[in-house]
Amino acid sequence: MDKRLIIIDGNSIINRAFYALPEMNNKEGLKTNAIYGFTTMLFKIIDIYKPTHISVAFDRKAPTFRHLEFKEYKAGRKKMPDDLGVQFEPLKELLDKFNIHRLEIDGFEADDIIGTVSKIAEENDYKVYIVTGDKDAIQLASNKTTTLITKKGVGEVEEYDFNSVMEKYEMTPTQFIDLKGLMGDKSDNIPGVPGIGEKTGIKLIKEFSSIENIIENIDSLKGSVKKKLEENKELAVMSKRLATIIRDVPIEINLEELEYGDFDKDAVIESFRNLGFTSLLSRLVELDGGNIVNEEIELNISKLENIQEFINESKNQKKLILKTVKKEGNILEKNIMYMYISIDGKNIYYINEDEILKLETILSSNEVEKIGYNLKDDYLALRPYDIKLENMRFDITIAEYLIDSTSSTSYECSDISMKYLTRKMKSKEELLGKGVKAKKYEDLELEELSEYIGKVINVVATVYERMEKNIIETNMDSLLYDIEMPLVEVLGEMEYEGVKVDIEKLNELGAQFKEKILTLEKEIYELSGEPFNINSPKQLGVILFERLELPVIKKTKTGYSTNAEVLDKLRDKHPIIDKITEYRQIVKLNSTYVDGMLSIINPISNRIHSSFNQTITTTGRISSTEPNLQNIPVRLELGRNIRKVFISDDKCKLVDADYSQVELRVLAHMSGDENMIDAFKHNEDIHTKTASQVFDVEIENVTSELRGAAKAVNFGIVYGKSDFGLADDLNISVKQAKEYIDSYFSKYSKIKEFMDTTIENASKDGYVTTLANRRRYIPEIKSSNFMERNRGKRFAMNAPIQGSAADIIKIAMVNVYKKLEENDLKSKLILQVHDELIVEAVEEEIDIVKKIVKEEMENAVSMDVHLDVDLNVGDSWYETK
């Protein structure tokens, strides 16, 4: 068999990769762009040239003979950036795992090693490929050696062998050395002959073929060229020597050791995971013809014939992996097409909708653990059948969210499959298509559907124990099993229950808004002198800043900024501004909150069934979509009216409970700051207390301005705000803002300490944690970019506080839900807005509901600071203030 050797100039390629690719980090913040670029290049080369042998040569730090001969050699080169330097060792480790040979020898550059090894390989009848970004290596090209020079970063290569060099440059590869001897090389600081550049150099080489021959025939030259050469003969000879790649470095090399082939696949996969190269995992599969897929999966998927036998087995094993498939439709209606179930993940059965009830005994059994992927969907699918899916034990989506809440993927099964199993499977989008042409499950043939869902079930079965191990190792098992998994049912019930809407009231508000919008529109057109689309920031910008010539306050990437802040600064300048502000406000209310809500009211229940998502936010909060019920207006009275349409059902009231200052209490507890803890212990108004401390006045002398300033400081601290930002907010000087912050930290000194330690830990560990041990990785904190690193610090300061508050209310939700159930109450938890819970309580239960909610919320966790909950009852959300 033909032997093909690839020799890579490690330093050259890692450099190219580093400068060609944007910054990349793994989740601990290690820079990885150069490693990534190198690896993709390696894969590409292996794929194209199918080498039997590979070696990567690296420079050593020790000086080479070139430095010793010419002390200016490579002088003036910039020091390697740290962000690149740190990537060498991980790359070398990765190459070792690929079983790819490495060559490093003191006193010789990678070039010389490559020159020598390629020569030996040529003599042994190898076909040689040299990969580098450095054109000097073209001198090594021959009939047996092809030099591959990278182009466009490291994405492509250009081939040079003897013939192509002759064709392209009309000189032999070795004559390139003579040319460089004449021209010199800026990057290596090789002098060459001063005054002789590329054009003259090429002419001379073509005529005389070498520097030696030029010197011998120097008399046949004339003019300035002759003079330059006569004066710099020695320089030319030395430059040629410096430019000559050595091909007889004294090394003992056994080419057999360079053989490429088997490597420890698990080790490489592990490395890729650590480096965060999930996309490369799939390349690994292609690279090795699919052999890297560890487990050959063969699934038996069939219709379940003997239901009783399966039930018995499931009860025996106390385990059930399941995935329901439903048609698109109303959340309140029966829409299941099939349910796929399995115990071992390999023998997978499906049943039709009409037989689902037969499985109720295991589905609603507390003895059988349910393991799945997006279990809330299964819970909700079964809900209209009056089947309660009980003991939802493990959801791989939620587990993966806990493992890495900052992951850029959305925890798709296909992503999880690739990450944990190095196994490719279709994503849902690949299965169904996207956009308007997207198919639905009901459009698929049963066979195709079964193949896909079968794989999902198998991934769940194969992956969940590995995830569990990871979660236990990172002390998140209680977070998963005691908080997040029990919460699945709570959120499912909230979605199913929904919130009642007063449709008439909503329409009435809409009519009012629309009328007002028309009036404002007319007034604005009159003031501007022409009609335009007020909703277009671009058109509005032209009107304000060109036609009306108002001063430009701020610019956006694309033009003038016209946001509320800018408009506020312009309001004295022109009467149109206030009209536009009001117009914007009402348009927002009308389109988002009136039309938006109307379009999504469930026709069966006349209620709004929002989705509560558990795996979106990086901090641990829940998010709400379709519609978002967590941003219903409250601050301004006009918008607050929207809350009048969210009402309680007949013979019910809304019980609204919200935590008072939960984030500041968390901060007081986590930092252990006695001063702040004390303020909460004495039920003092925290902002007044802060004002009194920071501005050094008696409590009774704190004015509302001072309190307002203190409030801004308190919130700013939670977000890691700067003096600059605070100054902007409070309209004071940066110097003054700095004094406020300094004074704050001197009074609440443990808070300062806490912030510093948190940042330190984040830098050291790469992550921060909450009270319930929820993790957030912060790769930004290791960035070499000032701004990015500062963002990382702010994330580090904020995530434990916001995340712990999220932990607390999640615990409260689970406990409130449990208590309502235990007491056989009909009242239902229906909403959560980060620090607020709303229960729709039937009238006879209001007192006990209030008691339960207050107790469970206030006692969700035990801290050095007590939690305090405000309760309000009303017929609408508006009334519960």
Pick from 164, 361, 427, 623 the residue near DNA by CB under 7 A.
623
Q: State the chain's maximal CA–CA distance in angstroms.
A: 116
Beta carbon of residue 595, minimum distance to DNA (angstroms, whole number): 6
**Closest CB to DNA among 187 and 625?**
625
From 176-184, 258-266, 471-479, 584-592, span contacting DNA (CB under 7 A): 584-592
End-to-end CA distance of the chain: 83
Pick from 153, 155, 384, 596 the residue near DNA by CB under 7 A.
596
Give 3-state DSSP helix, strand, coil % of the chain, rounded to 5.
55, 15, 30
**Closest CB to DNA among 77 and 724?**
724
874 binds DNA (CB under 7 A): no
879 binds DNA (CB under 7 A): no
609 and 517 Cβ atoms separated by less than 8 Å = no
Q: Is the peptide bond before 627 cis (omega within 30 degrees of 0)?
A: yes
From 211-219, 233-241, 381-389, 720-728, span contacting DNA (CB under 7 A): 720-728
Kind of pairing between the strands at 127-132 and 145-151: parallel
Pick from 134, 400, 835, 845 the residue near DNA by CB under 7 A.
835
**Closest CB to DNA among 176 and 877?**
877
Inter-axis angle of helices 576-588 and 503-528, nearest 10: 150
Beta carbon of residue 729, minimum distance to DNA (angstroms, whole number): 4
626 binds DNA (CB under 7 A): yes
Which of the residues 734 through 753 are near DNA (CB under 7 A)?
A: 734
Q: Which helix (H) or strand (E) holds 128?
A: strand 127-132
602 binds DNA (CB under 7 A): no
Distance CA 539, CA 494 (A): 43
**Closest CB to DNA among 528 and 619?**
619
Closest CA to 836 of 613, 592, 621: 621
409, two tokens: 């993927």
729 binds DNA (CB under 7 A): yes
From 247-255, 375-383, 519-527, 611-619, span contacting DNA (CB under 7 A): 611-619
Single-letter residue type at 371: I
Which of the residues 799 through 818 are near DNA (CB under 7 A)?
A: 799, 802
Which of the residues 525 through 564 are near DNA (CB under 7 A)?
A: 533, 535-539, 556-558, 561-564
Closest CA to 489 of 191, 817, 857, 75: 817
The angle at the Cα of 794, spanning 791 to 796, to the nearest 5 degrees, equals 110
56 and 8 Cβ atoms separated by less than 8 Å = yes
Q: Which residues of 215-226 are buried (b: 16+ CB within 10 A; e: fewer)?
A: eeeeeebeeebe
Beta carbon of residue 809, minimum distance to DNA (angstroms, whole number): 9
The angle at the Cα of 22, spanning 19 to 28, to the nearest 5 degrees, equals 115
Pick from 65, 525, 695, 715 the residue near DNA by CB under 7 A.
715
SS3 at position 191: coil
**Closest CB to DNA among 624 and 688?**
624
Which of the residues 112 through 141 are near DNA (CB under 7 A)?
A: none
From 369-377, 417-425, 625-633, 743-751, span contacting DNA (CB under 7 A): 625-633
**Closest CB to DNA among 386 and 626?**
626
Pick from 99, 213, 274, 617 the residue near DNA by CB under 7 A.
617
Which of the residues 630 through 649 are near DNA (CB under 7 A)?
A: 630-636, 639-640
**Closest CB to DNA among 162 and 719?**
719
Kind of pairing between the strands at 611-613 and 767-769: unpaired
**Closest CB to DNA among 549 and 568?**
568
Beta bridge partners of 837: 657, 832
Residue 354: CB partners within 8 Å, gap ≥ 6? none
Which of the residues 653 through 712 are near DNA (CB under 7 A)?
A: 712
**Closest CB to DNA among 348 and 589?**
589
Beta carbon of residue 862, minimum distance to DNA (angstroms, whole number): 22
Distance CA 11, CA 109 (A): 10
Question: Which one-letter DSSP state was computed for residue 304?
Answer: -
Beta carbon of residue 633, minimum distance to DNA (angstroms, whole number): 4
Residue at token pair 């037989």: 355
Q: How many residues does the chain have?
A: 881
**Closest CB to DNA among 500 and 834?**
834
719 binds DNA (CB under 7 A): yes
Which of the residues 435 through 474 are near DNA (CB under 7 A)?
A: 435
What is the pattern of x (binds DNA, CB under 7 A) and - over residues 783-802? ---xx--xx--xx--xx--x
Size of the site for DNA (CB under 7 A): 75
Pick from 254, 366, 408, 599 the residue near DNA by CB under 7 A.
599
